[in-house]
Structure 1
Amino acid sequence: MKTVFGLNAVRKEFPVTTRMLYLDSAHQTPLALSVRDAVLTFYNEALEMAGPKPIWMRRAEETRVALAEFIGASADEILYTKNTSEGLNIAANALPLKAGDNVLMIEGDHPNNAYAWLNLCRKGVEVRFIKLNGEDSVASAATFAPHIDSRTRAISLSHVTFHAGQRHQIADIGTLCKKHGIYLVIDAMQSIGVLPIDVKELGVSLMAAGCHKGLLVSQGMGFLYVSKEVENLQPAFLAMSGMAHPPADYIATPDDMELRPAAGRFEMGNHNLPNLHALSASLALINKVGVRNIEEHVLLLGDRLLTALDALGVKVIGPRDRQHRAHIYVLDLPVNEWVDYLAQNQVRVSAERGGVRISFAIFNNSIEVDRLVELIKLRLAKEIVAGTPEGDSLLTSIQN
């Protein structure tokens, strides 16, 4: 399989590749050496001088600029958060929704997206779940259009689903939302760092993501994109850092309550500085490789996996069309026994909704795909009754 970038050099950044077959990046990616070093730089500075805070804050803003550029936004449209869930909750509570309004969602999307909106039911907001036609279906404007009425205020869904890997047609949905004056709120947890994202081209109003998957950072760091075109957003929490004119004497009064524009009004003060150092390094690594190259790489690995699984008769849950998938492939195999079997052979995967989830990343290669396929063939051969023509044939193919 032809690689689209210097894969061997990238793999050296990830020591995990020398110890196991890591196919679980839809859950959490391991650290790269350069990312770890960036975090160590921060902690060494903290150890030696209790922190050059002005320098740290300057780096935080430089990282904000880099992250904004990475998704086609401006720096004042980026808010740092702890994770995707926090970002989605900030978004849901900031929109000017009132009793009788409704929000459209996909049935079975990530629960933390759903709960952010279901929490508004206590205010009289209705959440309408739309069912897709199977795990291989993707959402488009046609999915939502029949369900929009005069009280529909927002559509919220994942860009790429965590459980079957569907890549929903966000730009198409964004055009629909613009036509009807509806907010589009996106969970980009599974797509950020894996697929190219331009929030302006997608027509996104707000977009939340964590950084511990495709962005290669440890847990505890996320961001929320807030389009400057979205007006009347009210933060559920308020701090001095969110004020347009914070008091120089640090004495709060009700005289000037003007908020900062866009994402700035949601700022709550000190950031996760260690992980911001990590994010700066990870963005540098991803940009060096190129996110479009990463997309093509994981799709090529998926092509190879799908072809091999078809030959084995192993069904894959989720879409097969390249434009509708990304890096996640769920094998229709008994979860408990197969996850344990793969773990015993130093293969890290996840169990998701009755299937074995394989998720590729920047550091995986075709040899690892072939190794996974051989392990599957071996287990399948053992499951076939010994002495049958099918069993003998499969065992012979493995031995050869």
Structure 2
Amino acid sequence: MTATRSVREAVPGRHFSPEDIARVRADTPGCAKVTHFNNAGAALMPRQVVDAATRHLHLEADMGGYEAAAHAAESIEAVYDSAARLLGCHRDEIALVDNATRAWDMAFYGIPFRPGDRVLTSMAEYGSNFIAYLQVAERYGVKVDVIPNDEHGQISVDALRAAVDERVRVISVTHVPTNGGLVNPAAEVGKIAREAGALYLLDACQSVGQLAVDVAEIGCDLLSTTGRKYLRGPRGTGLLYVRRAVVDQLVPPVLDLRAATWTARDRYEMRPDARRFETWEANYAAQLGLGAAIDYALEWGLPRIQTRVTALAETLRRRLAEIPGVRVRDLGAQRCGITTFTVDGAGADQLKSFLAEQGINISVSRTPSTRLDMDDRGLDEVLRASVHYYNTDEEITYLVQALRTYA
């Protein structure tokens, strides 16, 4: 029987109490050193994550890498159980990979495209994904169609439904774009994909860990995400979800002895589960850190995390909008923990550096990351402040006061 981690039940109630926040911040050493509003880049790790990763590194140093992996085999396997709980799926539908880009690429390039196939995507699509669309279009004669936004600035469900035909091979959408706080209507997209018989690939890199994400409710066939962002895991970790019913339709672009078995001199057999998208060599210390991060999020409860993150972000938007010259740039009927803004007459890099001198971390998003959306809105760059549940109203006030000083 596969071992599972011991995870405490989520704290009762829907909101974080002051005692809860005190505990979260005590678990997060970085909170005492920096005001961190770059959680959509890489969140601050709790000590439980650091401890899980470093314990295994020490084990490798003490007994050897292979021996350490064998010693921790049950704990490593338990990461699949944690990830399945997080996404609401089966453990055999999970692949552990070294980053979200690798997860997304393994899924997308595993689709057997044919000339004339169509890829449908959104205006807010991430740059790396769109480059892959263009490459596949050149390589296989695939047509890439961008679905326009609705009045809220998110993918238009009506336009998507009207665009679907029998040539649509995949609907590929970014759940939360890198350059704003909108949340695309992923479940509505899923219904259309199922009706059309098209594969549905969801880039959830910015959403998993800050939103309650259930693959059954969304209806996606494939989902990619990272460990370093809102899950608060180590860099160099990622997850790929592959629905059981579609595994056999996909051929990973890379196979090795983890993904397949060499059954005869001229034959091999791919694994029948999502681990056909993994490779044999892995950073087990980082994977164990990822497992600890998932367990930590599950302990608090994703609905509770979503409630707090969303409320903090709305407070931040309201406070930013009160500053003369500051323009909040977020779209969407539903918004999340990412807040983007510009400051009249101020360059993004200069302002980011100024805030860094005050011990405040934010990020900058530029046109190449989401070219269609940025071009459409006439933006070259936006400042991005992304909150997490360990952030506080006092930290928001500190950021706002610093921006007022700069302005």
Q: Does the Cα contact within 8 Å between 2:106 and 2:252 map onto a contact in 1?
A: yes
Q: Does the Cα contact within 8 Å between 2:330 and 2:341 map onto a contact in 1?
A: no
Q: Supply the AA of the counterpart residue of 2:102.
A: E
Offset of residue 328 of structure 1: 0.2
TM-score computed with the length of structure 1 as normaliser: 0.87
Establish whether residue 315 from structure 1 lines up as the match of residue 327 from structure 2: yes
| Aligned equivalent of 1:331, options 334, 341, 347 | 341
Deviations 1:162-193 (A, max 9, x none): 10121000000000000010111011110011
| Aligned equivalent of 2:353, options 314, 320, 340 | 340
Superposed counterparts of 1:118-133, under 5 Å = 118-121=134-137, 122-132=139-149
Corresponding position of 2:251: 234
Q: CA RMSD in A?
A: 1.9
Cα distance in 2 for residues equivalent to 1:82 and 1:119: 22
| Aligned equivalent of 1:17, options 11, 31, 37 | 31
Deviations 1:339-398 (A, max 9, x none): 122122111101123221100113111111111112222233xxxxxxxxxxxxxxxxxx
Q: Does the Cα contact within 8 Å between 1:140 and 1:170 map onto a contact in 2?
A: no
Q: Supply the AA of the counterpart residue of 2:329.
A: I
Q: Which has the larger radius of gyration?
A: 1
User: Aligned in 2, Cα 1:19/1:279: closer, same or farther, shift over 3 Å?
Assistant: same
Superposed counterparts of 1:56-67, under 5 Å = 56-67=72-83
Establish whether residue 253 from structure 1 lines up as the match of residue 265 from structure 2: yes
Q: Does the Cα contact within 8 Å between 1:4 and 1:296 map onto a contact in 2?
A: no
Q: Does the Cα contact within 8 Å between 2:45 and 2:233 map onto a contact in 1?
A: yes
Deviations 1:285-304 (A, max 9, x none): 11121111111111111221
Moved over 6 A (4+): none
Corresponding position of 1:44: 58
Superposed counterparts of 1:76-91, under 5 Å = 76-91=92-107
Q: Supply the AA of the counterpart residue of 2:276.
A: R
TM-score computed with the length of structure 2 as normaliser: 0.86
Cα distance in 2 for residues equivalent to 1:76 and 1:198: 16
| Aligned equivalent of 2:273, options 247, 250, 262 | 262
Corresponding position of 1:383: none
Establish whether residue 200 from structure 1 lines up as the match of residue 216 from structure 2: yes
User: Aligned in 2, Cα 1:218/1:116: closer, same or farther, shift over 3 Å?
Assistant: same
Corresponding position of 2:394: 367
Q: Does the Cα contact within 8 Å between 1:318 and 1:329 map onto a contact in 2?
A: yes
Offset of residue 26 of structure 1: 0.7
Cα distance in 1 for residues equivalent to 2:41 and 2:95: 23
Cα distance in 2 for residues equivalent to 1:330 and 1:370: 17
Cα distance in 2 for residues equivalent to 1:240 and 1:201: 34
Q: Does the Cα contact within 8 Å between 2:201 and 2:222 map onto a contact in 1?
A: yes
Count residues in correspondence: 370
Corresponding position of 1:179: 195
Identity percentage over the alignment?
Answer: 25
Q: Does the Cα contact within 8 Å between 1:140 and 1:173 map onto a contact in 2?
A: no
Establish whether residue 30 from structure 1 lines up as the match of residue 47 from structure 2: no
User: Aligned in 2, Cα 1:127/1:38: closer, same or farther, shift over 3 Å?
Assistant: same
Larger displacement relative to structure 2 (174-183 or 217-226)? 217-226
Larger displacement relative to structure 2 (303-312 or 5-14)? 303-312
Larger displacement relative to structure 2 (113-122 or 61-70)? 113-122
Q: Supply the AA of the counterpart residue of 1:282.
A: A
User: Aligned in 2, Cα 1:21/1:367: closer, same or farther, shift over 3 Å?
Assistant: same
What is the DSSP-based 3-state SS (H/G/I as helix, E as strand, rest coil) of the residue aligned with 1:153? Answer: strand
Which residues of structure 1 form unaligned runs of 5+?
Answer: 381-400
Offset of residue 108 of structure 1: 4.3
What is the DSSP-based 3-state SS (H/G/I as helix, E as strand, rest coil) of the residue aligned with 1:29? Answer: coil
Corresponding position of 1:397: none
